[in-house]
Every structure is written in structure tokens, then in C-alpha cells.
A = this chain, B = another copy of it.
Amino acid sequence: MRAVDIIARKRDGLELTSAEIEFFVRGFTEGRIADYQASAWCMAVLLRGMTAREATDLTLTMAYSGHVLDLSSVAAVVADKHSTGGVGDKTTLVVAPLVACLGVPVGKMSGRGLSFTGGTIDKLESIPGYRATLTEAQFKRQLAGHGIVVAGQSAELAPADGQLYALRDVTATVESLPLIASSIMSKKIAAGANVIVLDVKVGSGAFLKTATEAEQLAELMIAIGRSVDRRVAAVIADMSQPLGRAVGNALEVREAIEVLQGGGPADLRDHCLTLASLILVLAGTHPTQAASRADLERALDDGRAWRKFVEWITAQGGVPSVVEQPARLPTARLVEDLPSPRDGFIEQVDAQQVGMATVLLGAGREKKGDAVDHAVGVVLHKKVGDPVAAGEPLLTVHANDSDRLAAARAALLDVFHWSETPPPRPAHLHRIIGAPDADR
């Protein structure tokens, strides 16, 4: 078998065998196949596509390129959720304790933010003391003792994916559905959970811009997961405007806490309930989403979800006084409203542009390894469909540096689009795919 022949076969649109995919990916990971061959192969995959069978083989080869966690000794069912990345997406902070407080263990490894989307670990680290770096033993102990753990992704998790992703990032081969699906699912499979809900974002604030792409990606990831006996379902969710109102690490933690205490923005609460109810149905605790949703709403409203959050965060090292009093989370020195320049209705809130503005404030990373300012960000006061009068605040900027504030202010002026008449409010949820109760 020769690398160049495998590249040629994919170039010509042929389906690769399992042996060819394994030969190629292992060869690349172990240094026998050059990076210039792997990048040409990635471009051929991007332009020629892959069957679900090929994508599954690629996923498993990458998952088993490193250590695969076995959590069966800790719990028979362990749930995970994964978002393809959006602006203002703090759902893990709500969904994990919400599910766990109803008795379904959640064990999750999460990434850090890159470009205009934030990362769950960055958000959690805005809580002083939170330990995101856990050994495997610590991960399992936290999961066994509290039924909930969220840690940073270890380097040994699917290392082939890490190597291939680094190459894709600089060769314009990121935007391939089978490569995205394999990258996500290889890490999910290696991380050990057997119930997985995928939150696939679509719209200007997400990597995927069309619903068709998002559905294809979701279906491919479900097929891959099921081929190795994971219970998987997916939600296709709108990311044309940010989820909730807060964008920025500590600001998002505060908003998540509002939801956990029974309040918070309606779209965020609703989305968290959708994800959590899917997890419970997949885990087998409830027969339908409707039944689980009723229980989940009660858990938000009666404080159980909130208490589970406090238990989780403090067990992972978070300073209890800060967790219990969110006002003590990091706050920014400069707080400034952005007034509306006109009357009208908000027709569009460009999520990607909001995300870019918060990167300018220091809330996110332009490149890997950049430091993150946990305090800064943006809180939106107006979302699509809202009426607004000239001079009324559109959003509040939280900054720690006047130069960065000026740069963000300029970027934020492009975020809003107006109309004279009330535009339709966008549906937050597009579709649910693979729910067991819908399949019946």
C-alpha cells in the first residue's frame, strides 16, 4: 500500500477501504506519511466527500490513536453533550447539573475557545479555583462521587485528530463535513460517554451557515456514534443571533446561574431544556421528551439544578463564596452602554460580529495559547424582533482597556440591522434528529 495511491483513489472519487484509511491515518500520525501527503488527501476528501462508512473508519482510527476512556466501572450510563460552537453558548453550564440532579451522570471533556466562539473551559475558569485539568483518576473520582465532571480535553484524547486538525487549520481543509464529523466524534468516543447529544449550530454565528449542511453533519455524526453503540441524537439550533444575552466568560456564567435559579433569558432556558430532555430520553429515565421536560422544569424552578451546580463547581475546586455569590465573579473596570442610533425594529443581530467584538475585548483567542480576560464581554439588551427607540441602549460593553473598548465599539456598530416594520422572531430550534421517542 502506498500513500500516493490512496490519495489518488480519493482524488478520483472512489470509496477507500477500512484498511486504506487506517494505513493512511496511522502512517500520518506515526510519521511515515508526510504532512504534504496528508494535506493533499484532506483536500481530496473535502472536495470528493466520504461515505458514512469511510467517515466511521476515520473516526475510529483517530479515536483509538490514543487512550480511550472506559467509564463502565463508574456508571452504566454516562452522558455528554457537544456543541459545534456558537456565540454566547453557555448551555453546558446549565445542562450538565440539570441532568445530573435527576440522577443521570454527566462526564464531559471540553475544549477552549478559538476565533469568535467561546469555550466552556474558559467560562468555567472565570470561577476562581476551578480545576479544569484532571488526571483520569480524578475525572473518574469526581464522576463517581458527584455524578458530574467537566474537564479540559487531555492531550492523549484522540491525538491523531489533534495532529490532523492542526494541518487542516492551515491548509483550508477544515470545512469538510466528514472531517468535522470524524474530528468531533473521535473525541466523543475516546472520552467514554455512551449517551451523546449533539447541539449543531447553524447561522452567521456558527461554522455551518446552512440548515442542510447542519442536518447532514448531524446525521453523519449520529450514524458514526451508533455504529459503536453510542446512543446519539442531535439538535439543529439557530445561531444567527447569540444564544441568551451575555457573551463573555464570567458574564455567561452569571447568565447560566440565572437559568439554574429558575430565571434567565427564555431562549437559553428553552434550549437547555431541549438538550437535557433529549439526554434523559436517551439515558432511558423518561419515555418521552415531554415527560422529561416537566421534571426538568421543576428541577430548575425548585433549586435542585442550582444546588447540583454549586456541588459540582466546589468539588472541582471553585471558591464556594464566589459560586454562591455571582456578584463576586470577575468584573470589568469599564462598563458602557451602546445607544441605538435610530428608532425601528431589530432585524438582525450578527452573532459572528458580536463574537469578533468580544475577541477584540480580550474575552477570546485570536490564536491558540492567547490569554483570556474572563471579566470582559457584551450583554445584549435587544434581540431580533425587539422594538428600539433612538438613544435606548442596544447592549452594554464590559471592558478592561480603553483601546480595546474603542476597537470593540467600532466593531459592535455593525452588529445590528434595523427595519421599519416588526420582523419575524427567528425560531431558536430548527429540528431534532434521532430522538428515540420520535422514532417510535
Instruction: State the A residues within 8 Å of B (CB).
Output: 3-5, 7-8, 11, 34-40, 42-44, 46-48, 167, 169-173
Contact = CB atoms under 8 A, between A and B. Distances in A.
Nearest 3 CB-CB pairs, A to B?
A8-B172, A7-B172, A40-B171
26 contacts: A3-B170, A4-B169, A4-B170, A5-B172, A7-B43, A7-B172, A11-B43, A11-B47, A11-B172, A11-B173, A34-B35, A35-B36, A36-B38, A36-B39, A36-B167, A36-B170, A39-B39, A39-B40, A39-B43, A40-B42, A40-B171, A40-B172, A43-B47, A44-B172, A47-B47, A47-B48
Contact of A37 (B4, B37, B170): B170
Tell me the interface secondary structure of chain A in the complex: helix
A40 B11 CA distance: 12
Contact of A172 (B4, B167, B171): B4
Contacts of A5: 172
A38 B170 CA distance: 11
Contacts of A36: 34-36, 38-39, 167, 170-171
Contacts of A171: 4, 7, 36-37, 40
Q: How many copies does the complex hold?
A: 2
Given A8-B172, A39-B43, A40-B171, 5 more contacts: A5-B172, A34-B36, A36-B39, A36-B171, A37-B171
A11 B46 contact: yes
Contacts of A11: 43, 46-47, 172-173
Contacts of A34: 35-36, 170
Nearest to A169: B4
A294 to B, nearest CB: 47
Contacts of A43: 7, 11, 39-40, 43-44, 47
A208 to B, nearest CB: 15
A41 to B, nearest CB: 8
Contacts of A47: 11, 43-44, 47-48
Nearest to A38: B36
Contacts of A172: 4-5, 7-8, 11, 40, 44
Name the residue in A5, A39, A47, A170 with the highest tally of chain B Cβ atoms < 10 Å from its Cβ: A39
Nearest to A35: B36
A46 B13 CA distance: 13
Contacts of A38: 36
A46 B36 CA distance: 15
A38 B40 CA distance: 9
A247 to B, nearest CB: 26
A302 B7 CA distance: 54
Contacts of A167: 36
A42 to B, nearest CB: 7
Contacts of A169: 4
A367 to B, nearest CB: 13
A274 to B, nearest CB: 34
A420 to B, nearest CB: 36
A173 B40 contact: yes
Name the residue in A3, A7, A48 with the highest tally of chain B Cβ atoms < 10 Å from its Cβ: A7
A7 B173 CA distance: 9
A169 B36 CA distance: 11
Contacts of A173: 11, 40
A134 B206 CA distance: 60
A44 B39 CA distance: 11
Name the residue in A34, A36, A48, A167 with the highest tally of chain B Cβ atoms < 10 Å from its Cβ: A36
